[in-house]
Structure 1
Amino acid sequence: MISSPVRRDRLVIFTRYPQPGQTKTRLIPALGPEGAARLQRQMTELTCDRARQLRAAGVGDRRDLDIEICFTGGDRQGMQQWLGDDLLYKTQGDGDLGDRLARAVDRAFASGAERVVVVGIDCPHLETPILQQAFSALDRAPVVLGPALDGGYYAIAVRRPCPQLFEGIAWGSDKVFQQTIDKCSDLCIKPALLPPLADIDRPEDLDRLPDPLGRTLLAKISTIIPVLNEAERVRDTLASVTRGANVEAIVVDGGSRDDTPAIVESTGVRLLHSPPGRALQMNAGARAATGSILLFLHGDTRLPSGFETVIREILTRPGVVGGAFPLAIDSQQPGLKLLATVANWRSHLWQMPYGDQGLFVPREIFWDLGGFPELPIMEDYEFVRQLQRRGRIALAPTPVQTSARRWQQLGAFKTTAINQAIVLGYTLGVSPERLARWYRQSRDRP
């Protein structure tokens, strides 16, 4: 018995390499360049995952599905490293969107495909059954369209090349779908229609993002900065915070006698006052925060560019309940560089970051743990120990920059010895009050 040959279909996914500032530019005012690029990345990955599900399920009797990534920006190697080597990769080439669509369709048929579906990545609700429906509808109609709510279309499927469908269309306008319907009428084609879906192109579209994607990308971050006499450094710290998208800064002053409060007020950042004590100040800031993510930052520590995108991405990882940044000390001294390296190994291997590493945690988990224990010392160490029992504490890829002053005042070796002695004493059960007195005496002693 001779079996019938396997027929091939092709699903073409139009996307762009997620370079910050070069993709989803209309969303930059709401998400920032890094956040807009992250959304591009996540929606592309989501579309590819659903395409793979379709390929695994099959698109009909004795049919194989090829998945092609038709991209712009970046290069083939970068795209393959990002999305995997089980997909085909082709550049979109020159011309307007119509030229590029027609070229992709012609190329797919030339390679032996019998049915071709082209989709974008802007519709997070474009799920596997709709992709299946696009192919199936070609059995009864020569053209299938997926209308978008903004007047465009998110999918077009054809049984043969038809370059006329892409000519004379006002791409990027709300007339794209209707003009394509009119083209079909001129060609005596009656298209089949898929369910209408929402594109995510503009800030007002972000409310349509499905959870958890929407919650993560739109999550507001409240950065809480306890300060005491930080006039020399707080301005730089605040500058690193306020450049983040959808981020609020709250400074909690513990009774500064220098110009710290005036400097904070001059920047327009919210200033609170609290009794001195890092735990008291951070909890006061957390109570006033409006974000769903809390980031605790020392007044002499600067955040890296794009920190907000990194935080949101980390907190989407399964099992992750919090995170921190690697430590970089603002000094060229070899001893301090070695000290930062050791601290980062500790954070990575034992998931024990300290407060000067920018600890971040979902607001709900923070208050479930009761906030920072209001101890005179070791409040961050104790909080992280409790957080570890909830899940994994992740380390961000880029470091914060922390002032070297604490190590330079007494010397790197003596400062480290004092800190480790405090940790050891706390672990052995010495009272925090006694440790705090000993710590102050050790630092005050010549």
Structure 2
Amino acid sequence: MAKAPRPGTVKTRLHPLLGPQRCAKLQAELIRHTMAVTTAHTPSAYLAYAPNDTMAAISTAVPAGVRLLRQCGEDLGQRLAAAVTDAFTDGAGPLLIIGTDAPTLTADHLSAAFTALEHHDVTLGPALDGGYYLIGLRAPHTSLFALAPDVWSTDRVLAATRALADGEGLSTGMLRPLRDLDTPEDAAALLTDPALPTPMAALLQPKAEAMTQVSIIVPVLNEESTIHSAVSRLCRDFPDCELIVVDGGSTDATAELAALHATVIGSERGRAKQMNEGARHASGGILWFIHADTAIEPEALGQIRSVLADPAVVAGGLTLRFDRRTPALNYLAWTSNARARRLHHIFGDQAMFIRRTAFDELGGFPDLAIMEDLEMSRRLHRRGPLRLLPATSTASSRRLTAHGTWRMIAFMQYLKLLYFAGADPEAIRARYTAGPRLFPKRNPAT
């Protein structure tokens, strides 16, 4: 039973330790190891894969002769029952059903399981977390998988399965327990186990370079006119960074254009939701959030890595400027940079970067309709210093100039005052979307 090694969907409890990309590599290695153990012991092997659209990817990762089955069913119990039925219908039996979460599984465990089935109806390989890494059946006793949905993935799975077997009068043999690999605690324990295969030990070892790897996350929505130049520029200037574009449901060609240069993932609409989803898929120890209509000075990457070499620093941003130079825009940039230095309020157009550990400890950006960057910088500052770097982030002035720069400056200060006064962020967002009406333009005819 194997889940395809797609980043962001496998070994999610290990994401804080390894990141989604390394978790996917770990899952691929677990599949390879399990299949190698299985095919060395028996010529008849099946791999039940999920999701359904991953057959092509899975088939390249398994040895020749392994028969592929699609996992079918709503929960794990239904999928196990369907796979067992398919295998027995195909003429298999006795049958061992194995997960891919036990990295210290060996052929000796399989031999012991088949031996136990010579004397018992069922054999179970207990996992230390209360589940099982293996179940052996002499006949298709699919009723053993009819556990309540809230029992699966708990420490009650093994006991509940034994109770079902006892209730049906089936004799059960028990194997030696093994540790599954699901959590950072499992990883730490397995690293001390000499039976852990070397490739998996290498993947589980903390790597200093992972802490300095930078993942660029770009939230987008209907940015067809800017996305191609934005992502191609980021690829050119920061070729060793992971680039993730998070589309919030664009109705134009944004996602298709971004996919030419970056990994594109979908998300619910909302900048906070999109940035958090991007972080969930990112593998870097440094998360860098950049708007699609912002140009970043190439020197910024080296400055980010340099400032984060100080373990006390948790986050920061770049010096803001605008793509047009007017007295009003110059004033706004100057006050924004002064605010970032003195009040530690960093907004999205300053290309906020965050140490991954701090991001995870805070649970990501707060799920606010607006001001999520302001609130995130306030929370980060409580954990450690934030730094404003000399490298520039050149933001688009399109919205500011469309409504009148001075009017927009006053309007944004008004919205911030509403936020600090405790107004509902959803109401503030609606007010922002409606535009600045605090100081309506005079009608020349009056």
TM normalised by structure 1 equals 0.50
